[in-house]
Amino acid sequence: MNAAVSLPITGRCYCGAVTLTATRAPQAVAYCHCVDCRRVTGAPVSAFAAFDEAAVTFAPDEGRNVSANSGVSRSFCASCGSPLASRFDYLPGQVYVPVGLLDQASELVPQIHSYDSQRLPWLHIEDSAERFARSSRSRLADHGEERGTAASGRA
């Protein structure tokens, strides 16, 4: 998946104080319709690229860290507030970067809808991406390998 994306992947926050570089393609790209991601991004749906933590570098650093839910850590540019990264205890070794930060966003096609059960009723995205009623952690933890299992809606 996303094999065609040009490397390195680069990006920056709104004000440019923080830049990031990823040396490998993301393991997955997913929409997240959950309420938390809506608040974090201010958008009706968020889209994240899931990278191997070791493949991503933030410069000069990852900004300000906020943890409002146990097991979830999110960082934001200390100057402009752009969301930079999310980490989930149940998805160890991965860092989730908003696709909107990335210069190669047009090449990073989401394959997953997470928390489709929380999707805003007026938001309609017509695609064939796999839909999970709740967390797609089982799929994300696969690191992009196809398992052939249908969306089950299990958390």
Interface residues toward Zn ion, by CB under 5 A? 13, 15, 17, 32, 34, 37, 77, 79-80
Nearest distance, CB of residue 17 and Zn ion, angstroms:
4
Choose between 24 and 137: whose C-beta lies nearer to Zn ion: 137
Nearest distance, CB of residue 127 and Zn ion, angstroms:
18
Choose between 54 and 120: whose C-beta lies nearer to Zn ion: 120
3-state secondary structure the chain: CCCCCCCCEEEECCCCCCEEEECCCCCEEEEECCHHHHHHHCCCCEEEEEEEHHHEEEECCCCEEEEEECCEEEEECCCCCCEEEEEECCCCCEEEEEHHHECCHHHCCCCEEECHHHCCCCCCCCCCCEECCCCCHHHHCCCCCCCCCCCCCCC
Nearest distance, CB of residue 16 and Zn ion, angstroms:
6
Choose between 4 and 151: whose C-beta lies nearer to Zn ion: 151
